[in-house]
Chains A and B, each alone.
Chain A
Amino acid sequence: MTLLFNIAFAAYLLALGVAVVALLTRRRVVEICAHGLLGAGVLAQTVYMAARWHAAGRAPFSNMFESLVLFAWAMVAVYLVLRIRLRVPAIGAATALLAVLALAYASAFGSDIKPLMPALQSNWLSVHVFTCFLGYAGFAISFVAAVGYIAVSRAGSGAGPDLIDSLDAVTAKTVAFGFLFLTVGIITGAVWANSAWGTYWSWDPKETWSLITWLIYAVYLHCRFMRGWRGKRAAWIAIVGFLSVLFTYLGVNFLLKGLHSYAGTWLSETAFKSIFS
């Protein structure tokens, strides 16, 4: 099973290298290769997660390791499915890099399959976590596009207006995607909490931070579509939004305690002890 994990990791790493070459040479064939590698990585990861699901008898979405694996999978899958590659090839390289980082980070945590505490034994677990991470993946790509936008516009006249426009459009499109799925994720979490504890909202830190993230992106969408904000101002909101996503995902586990505390800290226990003691 570990073999599949390693294949996915290698595929993403190779995809990163090939995508960089594609950027430099601007050759279509090389770009297709990079996407093929990303596709192969997603496939290997899908089989890996399915095998893990089968072995555990439940969806593999329950701790830091499993969620990071899902995060990597979701980013590449969302990138491939949303056909962003048609507009800005550079985002492919950045997505591959994020997937490599997520899997590398995941391997710092134990991959043991552990039994679930009673509250987590629910079919809502798979729906809730899966939709949240599809949302996070959309936001991750929007972050890449927004950073790209800021970088390109600072670099000056070298880049054409097409690239700038595309980066802006990709940001908006992925934020919209992420927003829809984060909404579904929050809602399924609320319904689940209501069936487990009798309250759909309890201002637990993770819940509250997901709401903060949701509000930031709601502001982005209103500014972008209602007020016609484009360019840097919108890009900066998307960047702040993703920082909030990271805090919701990792920061809350580390700094704040609550109902989601089983998710583990942002560092593995061993790494945590070696650094902080």
Chain B
Amino acid sequence: MATDDPKADKQTMNQRRRGSAERLFVLLASVPFAALVVAAIAIACIVGTLLPQGEEVVQYLKKNPDAVQRMELLGFLGLTHVYSSAWFIALLGLLAMSLAACTFRRLRAAADRTGRARGRAVGSVITHISLLLVLAGGVIRGIWGERGEMPLREGETKSSFIVQGQPVELPFSIRLLNFELETYGPQDEWNLRPRIVGEQLVVRSRLAGTEWKLPVEPGIAHELTTAEQPARQVVIVKVLRKVADFVIDMETREVKSRSELPRNPAVLVEMSHHSRTNRQWLFSRHPDFDMHDTGEAARVLDMRYVVEVTSPKTTIKDYKSTLQVLEGKNVMAEKTIEVNLPLSYAGYTFYQSGFNPQDLKWTSLQVVKDPGVPIVYAGFVLMIVGLAAVFYLYPQDRPGAPRPESVSKPGNIHDAAF
């Protein structure tokens, strides 16, 4: 609608601009728009849990080599990395805009109300702001957050960690003083209905075909008697020692256990027949490696000895790393971290994330810097406060109280709880 008067023209333009801004605001603040965005996000989430995501794709392709083309297409559509894809982040952006518009509208509405309705409206505003804070925290994490790995050996000091194969410098260094692995004992003290757990020494007589299952308890002597046929024999079997992780110390030439993990369980067994005795180490993981350096007693009986670790799978209880934070040569902090108990220093947090079962001198740390966390946590607190205000501090109707009809009228924003 152009006119000859440029001033009036500008005014109309402004009005029109204001008009379309108003319309955009109304659209963004509307429940149907929010519901649409939420539905789209929910569907995207469902897709993300059903299709293999990120590193799972590699695993999936190993199992289904024919699916390469399909995966490529899905990858092209952004469906194999849903949560980090541009379209999903755009959806979250739309959600944030919708939330912001709603919050603004509700803020205006809250000012007009009194009493419980006002309390409810304020609660609702707080809830929506809290969601915006959580999303903002996520954005901060995405932009300024860092996350990587740091493997450390006992005694080693490092001042960098690894992010996707590349080293990233830290403004201080970290030293691993000690790594410790704790396991639950084979006697499962948690078990209310005791079962037979633990290792068994299976002794089988080849000649008579008899089999005994003995507990691997050092010091207890078991007298085994074969049947009459082909010949009655008596042998005393005694476990002298057991180690979870057999190794021979190269310096002392003595057998010792390298760790508490049952990586190479072995028992030292003594067999006596009359006055003849022999001892030998038997290996659970290497049943054929019982050396056959059988002494007289075993040869007489022609017995076969097998060690079977029937249970544990020793369960890991906890693992801990004692760390020092160093600036130059000064020790700034020292802490023993474990799963659920990280160390924080200068904006970085060090989590106990793993260890090397092959070498228990190593620890593996997760290094995280996330400046968004305080904002997200503030959002969490506000969300609980806001929801509690809406539902319980200023509820719409008390039990048994008659419901005012106006609350149910569609679009009656002034009485709505949300």
> A residues touching B (Cβ–Cβ < 8 Å)?
1, 55-56, 83, 86-87, 111-115, 117-119, 121-122, 124, 169, 176-177, 179-180, 183-184, 187, 190-192, 194-201, 203, 205, 208-209, 211-212, 215-216, 218-219, 221-223, 225-230, 252, 256
Residue in B39, B383, B417 whose beta carbon sits within 8 Å of that of A225 in the complex: B417
Q: Is B41 an interface residue (CB 8 A)?
A: yes
Rounded to whole Å, the gap between the CB of A137 and the closest CB of chain B is: 16
Q: Can you show 14 pairs from A to B with CB atoms below 8 A apart? A: A115-B315, A119-B340, A180-B392, A183-B387, A190-B376, A191-B380, A195-B342, A205-B49, A212-B42, A216-B42, A218-B38, A219-B39, A223-B31, A228-B409
Q: What are the residues of chain B within 8 A of A118 when measuring CB–CB?
A: 316-319, 338-340
Q: How far is the CB of B136 from chain A (nearest CB, A)?
A: 14
Return the contact of A256 from the options B49, B316, B391 (Cβ within 8 A). B49
B191 touching A113, Cβ below 8 Å? yes
Cross-chain contact of B383 among A87, A117, A183 (Cβ < 8 A): A183
Report, as a range, how many residues of chain B touch the other chain: 35 or more
Instruction: Give chain A residues whose Cβ lies under 8 Å from the Cβ of B315.
Output: 115, 117
Chain B interface mostly: mixed
Q: B83 an interface residue at 8 Å Cβ cutoff?
A: yes
CB pair A113 B192 closer than 8 Å: yes
Given contacts A56-B190, A112-B191, A209-B49, 8 further A-B contacts (CB under 8 A): A113-B191, A180-B384, A198-B349, A218-B38, A227-B410, A228-B411, A228-B412, A230-B408
Q: CA–CA, A83 to B400, complex, Å?
A: 11
Cβ-defined contact, B377 with A191, below 8 A = yes
Those of B370-396 within 8 Å (CB) of chain A = 370, 373, 376-377, 380, 383-384, 387-388, 391-392, 396
Q: Name the A residues within 8 Å of B45 (CB-CB).
A: 208-209, 211-212, 215
B353 touches A222 (CB 8 A): no
Least CB distance, B241 to chain A, in whole angstroms: 26
CA–CA, A216 and B376, complex, Å: 22
CA distance A112 to B413 in the complex (A): 54
Closest to A196 in B: B340
Query: Chain B CB within 10 Å — which of A118, A122, A124, A191 has the most?
Result: A118
Bound CA span A249–B41, Å: 20
Taking a contact as CB atoms under 8 Å apart, the answer to whether B317 and A187 are in contact is: no
In B34-51, the 8 Å CB interface with A consists of 34-35, 38-39, 41-42, 45-46, 48-50
Chain A neighbourhood of B351, CB < 8 A: 196-198
B219 interfacial contact with A, CB 8 Å: no
- Given A209-B49, A222-B31, check contact A187 B42 (CB 8 Å): no
Contact between A119 and B339 (Cβ–Cβ < 8 Å)?
A: yes
A180 touches B387 (CB 8 A): yes
Q: Within 8 Å of chain A (Cβ to Cβ): is B247?
A: no
B274 at the interface (CB under 8 A from A): no
Residue of B nearest to A177 (CB): B391
Give the Cβ gap from A87 to chain B, nearest Cβ, in Å: 8
